[in-house]
Amino acid sequence: MNKVEIFTDGGCKGNPGPGGYGCIIRQNGDDIEIKGAHPQTTNNIMEMTAAIVALKQLQESSEIKLTTDSQYVVKGMTEWMKGWIRNGWKTASRQPVKNQELWQELQKLSQRHTITWKWVKGHNGHLENERCDQLANEAIAEL
């Protein structure tokens, strides 16, 4: 199976506000960098969008290690998702899951891969996370 490393980050200037994302896809010794922005969004939406955009780039089923500084994304995919689905996309407090469409897209994209979701502390010197943050900020500046 194809082995891929993905690094992602997203952020906003204000929350909500102008937001951007950056991702690095590393496979076969090559890095592909992608960035994008939206004029009015949230941090969490940009974090999720980074992962979605990166996963959409992969043409074949892969063994992926996806590293992000978003506990929201990691916990959503590894802890909360099964309960949300079981509860009809409601939280434990019976509220609708925020960003449901994005969660469903992440779930769909994830099904064809084997993904290890890894959290790293943001702004803490992790080389690829810092680069993804830089890409996200560049994308916001280009709006």
Catalytic: 31? no
Per annotation, catalytic residue among 10, 11, 19, 76: 10
Assess whether 10 carries a catalytic annotation: yes
DSSP H helices, the chain, are 43-56, 71-75, 81-86, 100-110, 127-141
Structure tokens at 131: 């680069």
3-state secondary structure (DSSP) of residue 124: coil
> Which residue in 19, 76, 113, 133 is the catalytic one?
133
47 an active-site residue?
yes
The active-site residue out of 19, 69, 113, 128 is 69
> Is 83 annotated as catalytic?
no
Catalytic residue among 9, 19, 36, 113: 9
Q: Which of 11, 36, 47, 128 is an active site residue? A: 47
Residue with tokens 């896809």: 25
The catalytically annotated residue of 33, 123, 138, 142 is 123
Contact in structure between 10 and 70 (CB atoms under 8 Å): yes
Contact 133, 126 (CB under 8 A): no
125 part of the active site: no
The question of whether 113 is a catalytic residue gets the answer no
Which of 10, 16, 20, 13 shows the shortest CA–CA distance to 139? 20
Query: What one-character DSSP code corresponds to residue 17?
Result: E
Q: Which residues carry out catalysis?
A: 9-10, 47, 69, 123, 133
